[in-house]
Amino acid sequence: MVQNIIDVRNLSKSFDISSKEPGLKGTIKHFFRRQTKSLKVIKDISFEIKEGEIVGFLGANGAGKTTILKMLCGLIYPSEGSILVSGYIPFRRKENFLKNITLIMGQKQQLIWDLPPIESFYLNASIYDLDKFEAKKRIKKLSEMLEIDEELFIPVRKLSLGQRMKSELLAALIHEPNILFLDEPTLGLDINAQRNLRKFLQKYNKETNATICLTSHYMKDITSLCKRVICVHEGAISYDGKLDLLLKKLSPVKEILIVCRSEEDAIKLEKSGFTVKNKIKNEITIKIENNSITSSLKTILNNFDIEDLFINEPPIDEVIGKVLIKKDYDI
């Protein structure tokens, strides 16, 4: 049986936030008498993650995804509740815990700006107490997986964003962690760079059985990497489960465009009891529930003279967008 590697119970986090009225008067008032209020950004959440799982955290900006990741890796002290990651309490930041995890942030970098990435890799290797031979071996293996070679010897400031991100990944993985926390790792990357990064993460997960917790606003990252998603809405979990179940729940019908041989066939089909979205000459678009697609299509093909048909999936961004504004999904 696969064990839970992350166990979160009744976790909450509050921050003191100061607010300021607009204008000069507001600025002066803010300077002398700052008004702060406690804001609960994470509200009593609980979940477990099994070893080797890739879990996507979904939510609108400010929903609390990054705060959850930062509490999981021990950067932020929780206000209430408990977290166990790989058997450790993250905030204690024990050496063995830190050797097991890594955090990659798409919008922040740890590489030394003026030097080639290889220098940062060897610095990290010394921090993780790796000898030169072992470090060299790991750099070679990871650079092959990430398909980078000459870039390792070019100053970071001269690398493209994609090349820099690959180097960031290598720097963050040199100690072969078994839990990866990724906060928008594909931010700002072009389509090819995004795809390569996803390919690498899949391969890394497959080869090392590493657990990956990922936040991203690019739905392709989530759909191609994560079987399970945790949706966060205003600091609370609105859905925790399989991604395909969520998609089925959110888009229970598919649209099918049917091109009939003649307009008469289209009229016959229009009157046959299917939910019709629209009809233009011999082309008719009907809506069919996901669970009756096979039987409905069989009926249509047997009873009508069909030239062609197209099954349209609703755009994933549109479907997931619904999650970001809704509070609860019970499946």
Report the interface residues with other proteins, using CB under 8 A. Answer: 15, 66, 70, 73-77, 93, 95-96, 98-99, 101-103, 105, 107-110, 112-115, 119-120, 122-124, 126-129, 155, 183-184
Radius of gyration of the chain (CA): 25
Shortest Cβ 188–other proteins spacing (Å)? 13
* Residue 37 DSSP code: E
* Class of residue 230 by CB neighbours under 10 A (exposed 0-12, middle 13-18, buried 19+): buried
Q: Cβ closer to other proteins: 124 or 211?
A: 124
Residues 38 and 237: their CA atoms lie apart, in Å, by 20
Q: Which residues of 162-172 are buried (b: 16+ CB within 10 A; e: fewer)?
A: bbbbbbbbbbb
Q: What is the dihedral of CA 30, 33, 34, 37, to 10 degrees?
A: -130
Q: Cβ closer to other proteins: 20 or 298?
A: 20
Residues 228 and 98: their CA atoms lie apart, in Å, by 25
Shortest Cβ 96–other proteins spacing (Å)? 8
Shortest Cβ 13–other proteins spacing (Å)? 9
Shortest Cβ 287–other proteins spacing (Å)? 39
Q: Cβ closer to other proteins: 64 or 162?
A: 64
Residues 4 and 53: their CA atoms lie apart, in Å, by 10
CB contact set of 284 (below 8 Å; sequence gap of 6+): 257, 258, 260, 266, 269, 270, 276, 278
* Residue 5 DSSP code: E
Q: Cβ closer to other proteins: 109 or 285?
A: 109
Q: Cβ closer to other proteins: 179 or 197?
A: 179
Shortest Cβ 141–other proteins spacing (Å)? 21
Residues 29 and 31: their CA atoms lie apart, in Å, by 5
Q: Cβ closer to other proteins: 108 or 271?
A: 108
Shortest Cβ 282–other proteins spacing (Å)? 52
